[in-house]
Amino acid sequence: MRVHAMAALVAAVAAVAACGGKAPARVRRPGTEYLAAIEFDGNKTISSEALLRGLALNRNLKAGRALDEYQLGIDVTRIEGAYKKRGFLSVVVSTSTETSGDATTLFFTIQEGPRATASVEITGLPPEVDPEEARALVKLEDGEPFMYAAFDEAKAPMLALVEDKGYAHAQLDASVIADRAKNTTTLRYWFDPGPKVLWGDVKIVGVEGPLADAARARLAFKPGDPYSTKAAAASQQAIYGMGRFKTVRVDVDRSSLATVVPVKVSLEESTRWEARGGIGAGIDTLTYQARLRASLTHVGWPTPLTTLGVEFRPAYTVLRDNCDFFEVWNCDYEPRIRLLGTATQQDLFRPEVKGELTGGLDYLTLEAYTQQGARLSLGIDTPIAASKRLQLHLGYLLAGYDFTDINALIGPTTAARLGIDHFERLGAFTETLALDFRDNPVSPRLGLYAELRLAQGGAFAGGAYHYTQVMPELRGYVPVGPLGVLAAHARLGMLLGDVPPTERFYSGGASSQRGFAERRLSPTVDGIDANGNPTSVVIGGGGLIETGVELRTRFSPFGIKAGGVVFLDGGDVTEDAYDLDPTDLHWAVGIGLRFYYLPIGPIRLEAAYRLNRTGPGEPAGGDRFNYLLSVGEAF
């Protein structure tokens, strides 16, 4: 009995596996009529597959049930409606059937007829609304073929446009007037704006004290201002941006036709403790890279607008020279460890001003040496313009580092020139001015970003190096129709005066010149290794140029959220800033794939080919190819 029971169980499992785990199909009794096929004829504008997906009888077809006359009538109406929404006002849909035994084939014959053209009428707009701006919301030109979707999609933004001008009680009556004789349609939008409305009193619920005051200070309106939907949305976004609330609601009481509308802002605090962790990895032609990040933050002490945090950032870089992937634990490696503590105070001195204190310990094994030490920085961030697109950062940096395990290629003279033969004491004042007109900071499609970073170091700041650092950067993004987005960037770095070893420039890697592995575009010290082979070590420089342009596209094969990129990168790093030559950069072209599944940006797999300056004496001389695995947009 046990043997037979086991055999039966195996047979049952095999049957389920053969069906893909699905329940068995309904067994149809012989002699019972069923719908075997649905065919379409005459349809040119809408594919047969699209029509079939929208039919009620499609379920009968899949289940092997008989033709249902009631559902057939509904489906005829559905097909006619689909065509009329595309402007085929005279469409005629007829049906017929063929029977072979128990099987019935259903035929839909479609006479599409001519397609109607569209025109747009907008009436009742208040004087504050530009008629051309309202008309632009309808994505159909007069005389173009009618599309119901274009008519329908314009209703909400057009009503919001009127409401934003202060007409909180505006009403919109939208309709399509069809003239079959002339084969035309009129898209009619009629507005009753009602009285103009002002913001009333604001009530904040859910929090009190400094938190409520901070939320109130971020409102983009005050009682007595003209009502605006954009102001309400901007207020909600600004309060969310504090990072202190998990829910923010700005509710406007428009239940009556009052000309002054009260506002209730409902807030719910987020949790005070938060722990985060993450892992990252990267590959290029010279290294394997693994990174960890763990952080713990607490908000609300010692003031309701204070955030305290600690973050641990270990990284492990394995050098791939003569090293197989399956034995990376036996290869040369460069551990890089950072421990950071932060204290942030929002609304320092006044609303929207943020103060930050950061202290950190570093142990970084780099190509030329190991640096270990500590740094302390103070900073204040404040918006310059009301739109907050222009931001100013003022800061102070104090750091000290020792340099050990200096590479054997670097002799005493070079070590003294680089400043790694003694303790580095760094003190500097820093300023950053940033202008951000991007539509999205993570994956922008349109806009401009400009930044200027400055630093002044010297004895007046507590440092032993007297220098000025200048770093302007510019990024731009333009959509190019179905091709995707054209993105470009340029960055310049100059150290004038002394060149502190920890401030030297390096280029190469996923976010700079992709023709080079990370940090490998740099001045070098050359020599002979223990085996008698030529070798070199990068030491960084006092001048940097990076530029590039790339075309980003997106596609979704089999539902995969993917994309592609082609790019051209240029760059150079020189020992002295005055040696930079924009006409003689290192250039590389490349292609890549991207997968859009992470909130911080795409997963990128890219390959680059260097076009010039690959001979002896050049950085990474002889290497033409580089490939990279990374996360986030290049710029």
Find out whether 70 and 56 touch, Cβ atoms under 8 Å. Answer: no
User: What CATH number was assigned to the domain covering residues 366-631?
Assistant: 2.40.160.50
Q: How many CB atoms lie within 10 A of CB 79?
A: 20
How far is Cα 480 from Cα 446, in angstroms, rounded to an integer? 10
Rounded to the nearest 10 degrees, what angle do helices 229-240 and 155-164 cross at? Answer: 90
One fold for 198-269 and 366-631: no
The CA distances from residue 203 to 219, 222, 239, 265, 465, in Å, are: 12, 12, 14, 6, 54
Residues in the chain: 635
Give 253's DSSP letter: -
Determine the longest span between alpha carbons in the chain, in angstroms: 100
> CA 291 to CA 281: how far, in whole Å?
6
Domain 117-192 -> CATH class: alpha beta
DSSP string, 455-472: EEESGGGT-S--EEEEEE
* Mean pLDDT in consecutive groups of 10 residues from the start of the chain, 635 residues: 34 36 50 90 93 92 91 95 93 94 94 94 94 94 94 95 93 94 94 93 93 92 92 91 91 85 93 89 76 93 94 85 62 86 94 94 92 96 87 97 93 93 96 95 92 97 97 97 94 96 94 92 87 86 97 87 94 96 96 86 92 90 89 88
The pLDDT score that the predictor gives to residue 334 is 80
Instruction: Tell me the C-alpha distance between 67 and 103, whole Å.
Output: 10
Tokens of 224: 């007595």
Cβ atoms of 305 and 212 closer than 8 Å = no
C-beta separation of 549 from 566 below 8 A: no
Is the distance from CB of 623 to CB of 614 less than 8 angstroms? yes
DSSP string, 359-416: EEEEEEE-SS-EEEEEEEEEEEEEESSTTS-EEEEEEEEEEEEEEES--TTS-HHHHH
For residue 203, is it left (φ>0), alpha (ψ between -120 and 50) or beta? beta
User: In this structure, what token pair is assigned to residue 435?
Assistant: 């202008």
| Cβ contacts of 58 within 8 Å, gap of 6 or more | 38, 52
- Span 28-111 CATH architecture: Roll (3.10)
Enter the CATH code of domain 198-269.
3.10.20.310
Beta strands in 447-528 (DSSP E): 447-457, 467-479, 485-497, 524-528
Per-domain residue ranges of the chain? 28-111, 117-192, 198-269, 366-631
Rounded Cα–Cα distance for residues 543 and 470 (Å): 10
The amino acid present at 466, given as its one-letter code, is H
